[in-house]
Structure 1
Amino acid sequence: MSPTNPRPSQTDSPTLSAPNAHAGPWRRCLPLAFAVMLFALFAAGCSTTSHQTAAPSPEATPAAPPPAGSPTAAAIAAAPVTPAVAAPAVVPPAPAAGATDLQSTLGVSYRLQEGDTINIKFDATTNLNTITKLQLDGAITLPMVGEVKVIGKTTSELRAELMRQYEKLLKGEEITVSIISVTSCVYLSGAVLRPGRIAMDRPLTLMQGIMEAGGFDHNKAKMSGVTVFRVENGKQKIFKVDMRRVMSGKTTDVFYLKPFDTIHVPERTFNL
């Protein structure tokens, strides 16, 4: 019996299986899926990059340095805080220096005369303040009290008179009287270097008046017999002054001139 070769069965013989009918479409989709994945990754990367570069961080921009001379934060913090204070009270202006000096020059015994300009000041009732130039009649007219005799009084005497007259009208009112200027003239004749009229825009003593006229003519002047003529209340008064005693310091009396005085320096009878 001849050996027979067994016929291989289908299950025993190695055969190549045909591709799965369902695998074909999936394989075809793989490239498309891969492309979609790459596109998604690319879009995510662009979104992240755009978010990171959209606006710079505040820390990325350095602060501008303060201008030269500007206070630093530390200096501002260390600076003391000045508390608010009330506005200072309004202080009335002080009298003009010229008026104060004039009053000092005249002294407390100086008596008001024609041509003087005075300032009458009320401490509270300022609408009554008066500046006036004294006229020949010697009187001034003031609100509420009328006419007041002024010439011949010192400023202290005039103040006392005004305080008395206003006492019942203005309770507790303070009044001051000061001399602002003295404006008039005096006349000189005789043995002076420049006889004639001189302005009297400030208080003048007899000695100062003579100096304004250039001084004595020492070749002629009789200094012991200087005469001052003055008209007061319609009457003439005559004053004799020994200027030798004044110039030698033997007397401390001061003779003040008044407006429109006439000073005569006689000449010596003998040239001694």
Structure 2
Amino acid sequence: MTSLHRLRAMIIALLVPMTLAGCVGGRGGPVPYEVKDFGRPDAPVAAAPDVEYRIGSLDQLTVTVYRVPDLSGDFQVDAVGKISMPLVGDITAVGKTADELAAEIKKKLGDKYMNDPQVQVAVKSASSAKITVDGSVTSPGVYPMQGKMSLIQAIAMAKGTTDDANPHRVVIFRQINGQRQAAAFDLKSIRRGEMADAEVFGDDIIVVDGSASKSTFKNIVQTVPLLALFRPF
């Protein structure tokens, strides 16, 4: 099982008690609603000085090919981890250091077009602030933060909820004081102005409940030990 699948499994497993404790279409479960001050997440831990930064999706890179300005410029890593350069074409950038990517670009240019090209890659801006939107949304995935964001905006970025979604039960998981914690929100109450729209922070995991996930919940709860679940909520 990949790390992404394990993460999804743990997220889904956390929602099992909510699905079992409350009927579909309403509120329920142990995750609290009406949280007045959910709290800000822990500050990101800086990498050690000897740990090289590895390029991530949506990072902005500056590629310089000396004495060839037409090949130089700023490039954004796309959602699947690639950049597209003249002559070079699509090249995978995600997971590599700037030096590793420069060496690969140098090789591709040197093999066909240039004699000993000199290439430098620099990370212009790292899109480290990302949120995960999962569950019953149209386009689940990992999205970059776009300035200050709210829960409603985050759901909209995932193209809204699906037909089977339960908008009364949406959970935000967040790392606070070294512990994974959670709070539940009701999208309908937020839209009616009865509940405040929650602020969303980088590394938040947002999960929308939905009836289509029932069989998945059953399968996951049989395979994931309860001790693997985050505590406290």
TM-score under structure 2 normalisation?
0.37
Higher relative contact order (CA 8 A, sep 6+): 2
Larger radius of gyration: 1
Larger strand fraction of residues = 2
TM-score under structure 1 normalisation?
0.33
